Amino acid sequence: MKRILPLIVISQFLSTSLWFAGNAVIPELALALDLPKEYLGHLTSAVQFGFITGTLIFAILTIADKFSPSKVFFFSSLIAALLNLAIVFEGISSFQILLVRFGLGFFLAGIYPVGMKIAADYFDKGLGKSLGFLVGALVLGTAFPHLVRSLTDQLPWEFAIYSTSTLAVLGGLLILVLVPDGPYRKASPSFNPSAFFKVFQIQKFRSAAFGYFGHMWELYAFWAFIPIILINFQTLNNLEINVSFWSFLIIAVGGISCALGGLISQRISPKTIATVALSISGICCLLSPLLIIQHSFPILILFLLIWGLAVTADSPMFSTLVAQNAPSDSKGTSLTIVNCIGFGITIISIQLLNLMMNHIPNSYLFLILALGPIFGLMAMYISRKPKTINYAKG
């Protein structure tokens, strides 16, 4: 049992490295295809939209509960890795790139939430710790393509794509071969569309889900626009910055806060940790106009690192609360539902920043993200007395 969590974490890291692989090579793609600056937002949104579509279908068909989660994880990793490779095909158009990134996002729905489902099937107690490490692996996986591109900037940009696809296949194989179905798994043998709606009747589940939605409004938009912040600073101050390396570091540092939050959750309630983290990241949104426009690169990096730590620390805590308050026979479906809606929200925030980037000064752009933490904090505290729903009696 002790080896299971490290295996799930490593596999999650390897397979989710596909997520921002396209973002890491966007400068080269932009140069080769003469892409507008808005394309980065569209590229990220294509993956998010694919993920939403995938999680919606996975949830409605209760795939993570009906079939072996380990096999779902493997086949999803394999197909997503192949779709990732399509970006290097000669003659591919900007629109076709968006299509294959959509497809990749679709099969990420069989990796990220299913990885959490596998962890929940193994760890009934200490779930916060397990999901802390697991979401930390997602964060590192998301950041990893930026590191690959930074370390291999003398090599053709396609190397970053080949590397992430290879790692994703390896991650899927590790789960398939070494992580069988967990002891707490309860299969859902029949199609159960009511699970999609029933879970939101549980007040504690609803509160955790809404808090997560507020967190997601901020998270991926912040991640997607980190290179924009750094490039703008570089241009305004006539500096030479390793944008790929610093983008990696600012995103990756969130993996540390996820793991620490998971460990602390053994002593402090996940709700408390989520509240503190969401509050800090909300404050960062509000302070962004003051700290993004100043002329000190160390101050900018320190601020973005603090923001990077706070913006992810609540994610595993919300997932823990969702898993703990979901019916045991539809836990995988419940996690997938929340992921589906949450990532749908990321498209709205990313595209809103994309639109407003041409209409307001960039220093004020991230004030929009403060709406997410404000909503999430309100959802966690402004709620009615919980109702008890007995699923055992049907």
pLDDT category at 186 given cuts 50, 70, 90 is low
Q: What is the mean pLDDT of residues 123-137?
A: 76
Q: What is the mean pLDDT of residues 198-226?
A: 88
**Chain centroid offset of residue 38 CA:** 21
CATH for 4-186+197-381 is 1.20.1250.20
Q: Specify the range with the lowest mean pLDDT, choosing from 27-31, 188-192, 229-233.
A: 188-192
Q: How far apart are CA 12 and CA 248, in angstroms?
A: 17
Which of 52-66 are b and which e, b meaning 16 or more Cβ less than 10 Å from the residue's Cβ? bbbbbebbbbbbbbb
What pLDDT, on the 0 to 100 scale, is given for residue 240? Answer: 85
Q: How far apart are CA 139 and CA 296, in angstroms?
A: 27
What pLDDT, on the 0 to 100 scale, is given for residue 192? Answer: 57
Tell me what the pLDDT averaged over the chain comes to: 85
Q: How far apart are CA 192 and CA 90, in angstroms?
A: 44
Helices (H), 238-269: 243-264
- The SS3 of residue 108 is helix
- Distance set, CA 71 to CA 118, 119, 123, 142, 177 (Å): 11, 14, 19, 22, 9
- The SS3 of residue 61 is coil
Q: How far apart are CA 297 and CA 82, in angstroms?
A: 39
Helices 39-60 and 331-356 cross at an angle (nearest 10°) of 160
User: Is residue 220 scored above 50 in pLDDT?
Assistant: yes
- Name the more confident of 73 and 142: 73
Neighbours of 252 (CB within 10 A): 20
Whether 50 and 105 have beta carbons less than 8 Å apart is answered as: yes
Whether 250 and 186 have beta carbons less than 8 Å apart is answered as: no
DSSP string, 320-380: HHHHHTS-GGGHHHHHHHHHHHHHHHHHHHHHHHHHHTTTS-GGGGGGGGGHHHHHHHHHH
The domain spans of the chain are: 4-186+197-381
User: Is residue 118 scored above 70 in pLDDT?
Assistant: yes
Q: What is the mean pLDDT of residues 333-344?
A: 79
- Tens of pLDDT, residue by residue over 45-84, are 899 899 889 888 887 777 877 788 999 999 999 999 999 9
Residue 98, token pair as written in the block: 């968006």
Q: How far apart are CA 108 and CA 352, in angstroms?
A: 24
Whether 138 and 12 have beta carbons less than 8 Å apart is answered as: yes
Q: How far apart are CA 66 and CA 62, in angstroms?
A: 6
CA end-to-end span of the chain, whole Å? 33
